[in-house]
Chain A
Amino acid sequence: MDYTANELMVCEAARQLRDGEVVFVGIGLPNLACNLARRRHAPNLVLIYESGAVGAVPERLPISIGDPALVTGCSSVCSMYDVFAHYLQGGLIDVGFLGGAQIDRHGNINTTVIGDYASPSVRLPGSGGACEIAILARKVVVIAPQSKRSFPARVDFVTSPGHVEGPGGRARLGMPGQGPVSVITNLACFGFRDGEMTLTSLHPGSSVEQVRANMGWEVAVVTDLAETAPPTPDELRLIRDELDPEHLYI
């Protein structure tokens, strides 16, 4: 069955969520993944959006993180102070989703500038809530298309810390969360071993050479390298017909 790279990324991200987990949702692919998981294996997944919608059950695909559809029928609307102080810093968030213009070998993420901060060649949007999600969520899942430019050995600017300089980096800085545990790209899935991004599964049709050609360093590969399971017909039906009927993200 034909599917797009984005559809596979959404399915893989959804499968990594467990029923009952509390998820800090971002817009775009993470939003699709969370709502897919909720409709399939994780009906009790609690979706929290940084805009303050808690237990959201959006009837339409939210276009922005503050879409009114997140409010209608949700279990609580709280202030952004509550979202960040009580929910996130309070330790209630199991999984945070992040993306970024650049991610490096230690899972540090840049969404601030390409080039020098004082005179950037490209000014990106900045942190939003990403910096504190990276520090405080129990674990972080990253979804990002990969290329040599977007996966450099070291990011130009650390907006959201991953494993910082490598093993023990987070513990030394007193960060409560585990940091990134998983990176899902258009080519493959990665985990982290000793704070270093490690190739764990190849999407159907990808090769280790292709993955390495689209990264800025010689990525380590696990010995039991797997193949990422492709989307099932039911997953594709839900994504295409119900979650993103206008095909904005897939």
Chain B
Amino acid sequence: MTGTGDKVMSMAEAIGRFVTDGCTLVIEGFTHLICFAAAHEIIRQGRRDLTLCRLTPDLVYDQMIAAGCARKVVFSWAGNPGAGPLYAFRRAVERGIPHPLEIEEYSHYGMVARFAAGAARLPFYPLRDYQGSDLARVNPRIRDVTCPFTGERLAAVPPLNPDVAIIHVQRADRLGNAHVWGLLGVQKEAAFASDKVIIVAEEIVDEAAIRADPNRTLIPGLIVDAVVLEPFGCHPSYAQGYYDRDNGFYVQWRDISTDTASLDTWLQEWVHGVASRAEYAEKLGDRLQALRAREHLSPPVNYGY
């Protein structure tokens, strides 16, 4: 639908309309701006057989894997950043719990290149990578290509074109023009590579606020299908200038996720037990308030001519 009309809808509606059983999904955000609110709604709506793409599956996919949403993960680093392994991911890969999980594995640059090829609608992306690594041996989609100009052998990866991208941003207008600052990850490439794009925003602002600072627009409304307002939608990830990462929760996840019973209890309480992100945020209460960002303002620039 990506037209010019108002695209604002609830998270439940956006997930219900665009994320279907069996689809290929990317929820990007490298440590920063990971949309847990969307993942939790997908779990609540009981989606199954998803192919989940992300450089770092992080807790967000660990929770979706544990909840039984995932059939396959396409990734490059599956750990709990700063805190150890991802236990649900490991249980699925090592022992098929709750069911076997197919994996397709690259390095970060390989994943970035796949999204770049996908965004540019190219058949492959060449990169100087993977020589001497076993990654190409176990992943038949990492291949060689010969440069038609120099004869150099390069690695090549195929495009990644998910059905749906979910991108969390600091602020967006009702058309989906989205301002992002802080770490940018691979969100722009992932959004352009995907068939449908859901923008989830900490704030919805007037179109004039976006047009006042167009260099900050990472994702244009042109490619956006839905805009969802979801304050604190990233917790325990963070949004620069809004709230800090809840590093304590990432450490706690180690204990919560080491066995399926405690993980299921957590999912019952914090995902199924709340109707929405607003309820989740209210339930977190003071813990969330303590994470609010201090002010570190950038001076304005002159866009005049």
Contact = CB atoms under 8 A, between A and B. Distances in A.
Interface of A: 27, 50-53, 63-68, 70-72, 77-81, 84-85, 88-89, 108, 112, 117, 120-132, 134-136, 157-161, 164, 169-170, 173-176
Contacts of A125: 77-79, 85-86
Given A50-B108, A127-B105, 8 more contacts: A63-B81, A63-B82, A66-B31, A89-B128, A89-B129, A125-B79, A126-B105, A132-B108
26 contacts: A51-B30, A63-B82, A64-B247, A65-B81, A66-B31, A68-B182, A68-B238, A71-B183, A72-B296, A77-B184, A80-B112, A80-B185, A80-B186, A81-B112, A85-B109, A85-B112, A112-B105, A125-B77, A127-B107, A129-B107, A131-B109, A136-B129, A158-B133, A159-B133, A161-B131, A173-B132
A122 B94 contact: yes
A176 B128 contact: yes
Given A63-B245, A130-B107, A80 B184 contact: yes
Given A81-B116, A120-B93, A164-B132, A51 B109 contact: no
B76 interface: yes
Contact of B32 (A68, A131, A134, A164): A68
A72 B181 CA distance: 11
A170 B128 CA distance: 13
B89 interface: yes
B182 A77 contact: yes
A228 B105 CA distance: 39
A79 B76 contact: no
A176 to B, nearest CB: 7
B245 A64 contact: yes
B134 interface: yes
B133 A78 contact: no
Contacts of B185: 51-52, 66, 79-80
Given A127-B135, A175-B131, A80 B55 contact: yes
Nearest to B296: A72
B258 to A, nearest CB: 15
Nearest to B55: A80
Nearest to B31: A66
A221 to B, nearest CB: 26
Nearest to A165: B132
Interface string B168-188: 000000000000011111101
B232 interface: no
Interface string B27-71: 000111000000000000000000000011000000000000000
B30 A52 contact: yes
Nearest to A162: B132
B272 to A, nearest CB: 27
Contacts of B122: none
A160 B115 CA distance: 22
Most chain-B Cβ atoms within 10 A of its Cβ — which of A79, A80, A88? Answer: A80
Interface residues of B, number: 55
Given A135-B131, A174-B131, A71 B108 contact: no
A169 B116 CA distance: 30
A101 to B, nearest CB: 11
Contacts of B109: 84-85, 88-89, 129, 131-132
A182 to B, nearest CB: 19
Interface in B88-114: 89-90, 93-94, 105-110, 112-113
B20 interface: no
A139 B75 CA distance: 26
A128 B108 contact: yes
A66 B93 contact: no
Nearest to B125: A85
B188 A63 contact: no
A159 B82 contact: no
Most chain-B Cβ atoms within 10 A of its Cβ — which of A71, A121, A122? Answer: A71
Contacts of B250: 63-64
B225 interface: no
Contacts of B85: 123-125
B76 A128 contact: yes
The 9 closest A-B pairs by CB, nearest first: A66-B31, A161-B132, A125-B79, A128-B77, A127-B107, A173-B131, A131-B107, A64-B81, A84-B109
A129 to B, nearest CB: 4
Nearest to B243: A68
Contacts of B94: 120-123
A89 B107 CA distance: 14
A69 to B, nearest CB: 9
B305 to A, nearest CB: 25
A64 B77 contact: no
Nearest to B248: A63
A64 B108 contact: no
